[in-house]
Amino acid sequence: MKIITQNYENDKKVSSSIMTFLKKYKVSSILKESNAYKIKGIPVITLFQYLFSLIFANRSMYMNMLTGKHNESFAKDTVYRFLNSTSINWMKFTSLLSAKIANSTITKLTDEDRVNVLIIDDTMFERNSSKKVELLCKVYDHAKKTYKYGFRLLTLGWSDGNTFLPVNSCLLSSANSKTRINEAKDLDKRSIGFKRRKLAQTKATTVMLDLIEIAKKAKIPASYVLFDTWFCSPSSLIAIKNKGLDVIAMAKKTSKMYYLYNGVMMPLTEIYKQNKKRRGRCKYLLSVKITVVKDGISIPARIVYVRNKNKRKDYLALITTDMNISEEEVIRIYGKRWDIEVFFKVCKSYLKLSKECRSLSFDAMNAHIAVVFTRYMMLAVENRQTTDNRTLGELFYLISDELSDITWIEAFQMIIQILMQTISDKLSLTSEQLDKLMDSFLLALPKQFKGSLGLCA
Boundaries of every domain in the chain? 1-222+350-405, 224-336, 408-456
Give 3-state DSSP helix, strand, coil % of the chain, rounded to 5: 45, 20, 35
Between CA 416 and CA 414 the distance in angstroms is 6
Residues paired with 155 in a beta bridge = 121, 169
Between CA 150 and CA 130 the distance in angstroms is 9
Q: What angle do CA 306, 312, 316 make, to 5 degrees?
A: 30
Averaged over 353-378, what is the pLDDT? 94
Higher pLDDT among residues 31 and 63, named by residue: 31
Banded model confidence at residue 325, pLDDT cuts 50, 70, 90: very high
Question: How many Cα atoms are found within 13 Å in the side-chain-facing hemisphere of 357?
Answer: 29
H or E element in which residue 165 lies = strand 164-172
Q: What is the pLDDT of residue 1?
A: 34
- Asked if 202 and 152 touch (Cβ cutoff 8 Å), the reply is no
The pLDDT of residue 208 is above 70: yes
Dihedral of CA atoms 339, 346, 84, 92 in degrees, nearest 10, equals -20
DSSP secondary structure letters along 128-155: TT-S--TT-EEEEETTTTEEEEEEEEEE
The pLDDT of residue 391 is above 90: no
Position 371, amino acid: V
Q: What is the pLDDT of residue 385?
A: 84
The pLDDT of residue 275 is above 50: yes
Percent of the chain predicted with pLDDT > 90: 62
Question: What is the pLDDT of the chain when averaged over all its residues?
Answer: 87
Q: How far apart are the first and last CA of the chain?
A: 54
- Kindly report, residue by residue over 111-159, the tens digit of the pLDDT: 777 899 999 999 999 998 888 999 999 998 887 888 999 999 999 999 9
Between CA 7 and CA 4 the distance in angstroms is 8
Which overall architecture, per CATH, does domain 224-336 show?
A: Alpha-Beta Complex (3.90)
Averaged over 349-367, what is the pLDDT? 93
Banded model confidence at residue 109, pLDDT cuts 50, 70, 90: confident
Banded model confidence at residue 396, pLDDT cuts 50, 70, 90: very low
Percent of the chain predicted with pLDDT > 70: 89
Banded model confidence at residue 452, pLDDT cuts 50, 70, 90: low
Q: What is the reported pTM?
A: 0.81
Between CA 73 and CA 85 the distance in angstroms is 20
Higher pLDDT among residues 161 and 129, named by residue: 161
CB contact set of 91 (below 8 Å; sequence gap of 6+)? 168, 169, 170, 196, 211, 214, 366
Between CA 153 and CA 169 the distance in angstroms is 7
CB contact set of 272 (below 8 Å; sequence gap of 6+)? 286, 305, 315, 317
- Kindly report, residue by residue over 93-107, the tens digit of the pLDDT: 999 999 999 999 998
Q: What is the pLDDT of residue 398?
A: 47
Between CA 266 and CA 256 the distance in angstroms is 9
- Kindly report, residue by residue over 286-309, the tens digit of the pLDDT: 999 999 999 999 999 999 999 988
- Asked if 301 and 290 touch (Cβ cutoff 8 Å), the reply is yes
Q: What is the 3-state secondary structure (H, E, C) of 24-71?
A: HCCHHHHHHHCCCCCCCCCCHHHHHHHHHHCCCCCCCHHHHHHHCCCC
Averaged over 255-273, what is the pLDDT? 94
DSSP 8-state secondary structure symbol assigned to residue 17: H
